Chains A and B, each alone.
Chain A
Amino acid sequence: MSDNSVTSICVIIGASHAGASCAFALRSEGWLGRIIIYDTDAELPYHRPPLSKTYLTAEQEIASSPLKSAESYEREDITLKLGIRVSSIDRNKKRIYLKDGATQTYDKLVLATGARPIIPPVSGLEDAQSVFALRTLADVEGIRKALGNNAATKKVVVIGGGYIGLEIAASLTKLGSKVTVLERQKRILERVTSVEMSNFFSNLHTENRVRIATGKNVTSVEQKDIDQNVICSDGSAYPADIILIGVGIYVNQELAEKAGIVIGNGIKVDGSSKTSDTNIYAIGDCTNHHNPHYDKAVRLESVQNAVDQAKVAAAAICGKEAIYDAIPWFWSDQYDVKLQIVGLSEGYDNYIVRQEEKEGHCFSIWYFNGDKLLSVDAVNNAKAYVLGTRFIKTGQLIDKEKLANSTEAFKPANLVVA
């Protein structure tokens, strides 16, 4: 490829899991030219999943775990430009413009711009005290500062009962804070999982002194003297020293959109992660791509998607054949529960619950469309997660009666329909 020479330049916008992985993958795929990564975050790129988990509860100052050490970037000749915002892309001149007016040309451009938290239009929220979303290390530092040395005396209201909100709730109740989760839907996790799983997590949180309130549409935040209350449309009020927001994300697609790149619930990319511009790729949370296993367009928010798409884009940029066909997977850690999810359950019309004969929580939920396995939610059950991954990959038919019976051996040979 003529594009890959020592004078070539690959610019990556966004240095989180997707952008950083792509830079290193470019080197291992044989990219000869320069690699420059920009990010608005001034921190050395770090792992994000622990933000809502161990970083919140760490006893010491947060020692964030970097994705790669500073020396690794130097060693691979990857230039990190941190704390810098890219303001526009000129596709004709193959050049990006930075906020401070400087420019940078590129031969290949990778958009790894990710997403940002939605801040819902709630009256009084803008002027409220100690309001945080959770996406960056700065958010965690803000929350920790607001908790101070007496987390146990703090009343925390989490708006949004999704995975992020629940992980924050689990972390803060561990520190002793009085946590209430307000969910607009009838059950937590409604958008992403089954009634069984919602009920399981609801009970788990209740057992751990987190108050879960569903069907709660937050309308305003009111200040009275030093007290602050989160008010819902049914008139209920929840005192809140700290308000945390976990109601979902907006994709950072504006740069691409303004440059005329095709958008559709994220930046549209093909199987090699290329956008509608042949010199521009997009990876991670900001993309909308076709998943061959499920034969549909998806936009995923996960480490797996970020890292795997990054590798595909890097190979394609280096002129190699590469198709993104990974089966998505996710995880969530709350209390002593590790939830592992493989596949996409959307479109399921029946499911099987398999409860293992063990102490503590250990079960899995298998989601099917007809007889086709779509997805598995595994709770403290890596075996189910691994088996589910196998079965989704191979497409083998599963004997559902045996699957539901925990006395039947949990082995592929025993569970497939002969």
Chain B
Amino acid sequence: MAKITFITSDGETKELEGSSGSVMELAVEHNIKGIDGNCGGVCSCATCHVHVRPEDMEKTGPGSEIEMDMLELDDNTDEYSRLSCQLPISDAIDGVVLTVAK
């Protein structure tokens, strides 16, 4: 079980709990604005971009090469960017705070 906090582009904060699947799926399930997950979670569309709170990067780790390349599609990418479909939910990421990219 992991608690994950989303901050959307209009400043809304939502705390969600999940135990399986990906962070993208959890976000879509709860209609988090700005996370579309159009490709269904296969790292093909870059519509689930989040910025990880810097101190939480240790928990999430960096993205894979293909993920980092895909992130370059977005102009707002920074060193804390991840595609949330590539973040599996587990105890390891309990407490992370994610800002949905614009």
Contacts and interface: CB of A to CB of B under 8 A. Distances in A.
B31 A331 contact: no
A311 B80 CA distance: 28
Contacts of B36: 307
Contacts of B45: 303-304, 329
Nearest to B46: A386
A307 B33 CA distance: 15
Nearest to B70: A382
A191 interface: no
B25 to A, nearest CB: 7
Interface residues of A, number: 28
Contacts of B70: 382, 385-386
B73 A65 contact: no
A386 B31 contact: no
A316 to B, nearest CB: 19
A50 interface: yes
B40 A338 contact: no
Nearest to A303: B38
Interface residues of B, number: 22
Contacts, number: 57
A389 interface: yes
Nearest to A307: B38
Interface string A380-404: 1011011001000000000000000
Given A28-B33, A338-B44, A338-B66, A331 B72 contact: no
Interface string A1-37: 0000000000000000100000010001000000000
B36 to A, nearest CB: 7
Interface string B1-44: 00000000000000000000000010011110100101111111
A68 interface: yes
B69 A383 contact: yes
B31 to A, nearest CB: 5
A241 interface: no
Nearest to B25: A65
Interface stretch (A69-77, A123-131, A221-229): A69-77
A273 interface: no
Contacts of A50: 40
A86 B44 CA distance: 34
B39 to A, nearest CB: 7
Contacts of B28: 67-69
Interface string A315-342: 0000000000000010101000010100
Contacts of B69: 382-383, 385-386
Contacts of A67: 28
A85 interface: no
A217 to B, nearest CB: 34
Interface of B: 25, 28-31, 33, 36, 38-45, 65-67, 69-70, 72-73
9 contacts: A49-B42, A65-B40, A68-B28, A303-B45, A304-B38, A304-B45, A338-B66, A382-B66, A386-B69
A-B CB proximity, top 9 nearest: A382-B69, A47-B40, A331-B44, A383-B69, A382-B66, A72-B31, A386-B72, A69-B29, A382-B70
